[in-house]
Amino acid sequence: MTDLADRYQKIRIIWRQDHAPDLWSIRVRPEEPLSFKPGQYVTIGVEREGRVLERPYSIVSSPLEPEIEFFFELVPQGGLTPALHSLQAGDTLLMRRQAKGLFILDSKSGRRQHYLISTVTGVAPYVSMVRTLICQARSSGSPDLRVVLLQAASRPFEFAYRQELEAVGQGSKWFQYIPTVSRPWEDLAWKSEVGRVEDVLRKYLDSLGLEPASTTAYLCGHPGMIENAKGILTRRGFVKDNIREEAFWVREK
């Protein structure tokens, strides 16, 4: 028990929202504050039969928010998400005491344009970045950068944070949100972008003037998307220095 207390703290779920049968978000209240940068992840888990089932998850909330938010996709045969999916407000789980990761907004290269690309739950670290920039803008004015977020999903209901992100885009000049679906025939009301990330990534590179010399690209989500998108970016002139990636593996062990 002492060893667990050294490595983990308990967190209590204070809010849960189900976006679809296999997609949901929670907010938790930790026993002690967690220090992290927008875009980082922290490992959370549940104790079962004397051992901790755990996995790292990107943090959705901003470090400036009082609670910590996560966005999950259920893997029916997975080792952890079925247990997480059963938890409701009031339940507790475990969280590592330190956040980790280098998938943060580029502030050192001098490039002022940021192209954020994701599949469904890969939007999580980007929401943290955008929320933080909004909070900073309230106190010091609009950020001196341009952020374009392209998010792909099969169906519109998988865009759990679409309403929030579209509102930010409508209320600011520095941020643009572009959702795209690969199965538009399943929702005839969908009137926005159509296609997989690989189908539309280059379109917005060109139409929005996201040139390699002035742009850092970020890839987060399914590893297959990341590899395909890296190929497109490389052919467009991007190099390793201005491509950042964070793979979300679908299969759990």
- 10-residue stretch averages of pLDDT, the chain, 253 residues long: 81 98 97 97 92 95 97 92 96 97 96 97 98 93 95 97 97 96 95 94 97 98 94 97 84 42
β 68-73/23-30 pair status: antiparallel
pLDDT at 251: 43
According to DSSP, residue 177 is labeled E
Q: What is the pTM of this model?
A: 0.95
For 113-247, CATH number out of 3.40.190.10, 3.40.50.10190, 3.40.50.300, 3.40.50.80 equals 3.40.50.80
Residues of the chain with CATH 2.40.30.10: 2-96
CATH 3.20.20.370 matches 2-96:
no
H runs (alpha helix) in 21-161:
81-85, 124-140
CA–CA gap between residue 23 and residue 1 (Å, rounded): 32
pLDDT at 74: 96
> Reduced to 3 states, what is the DSSP secondary structure of residue 213?
helix
Do the Cβ atoms of 94 and 38 come closer than 8 Å? no
Residues of the chain with CATH 3.40.50.80: 113-247
Do the Cβ atoms of 33 and 42 come closer than 8 Å? no
What's the sign of the alpha-carbon dihedral 40, 251, 163, 66?
negative
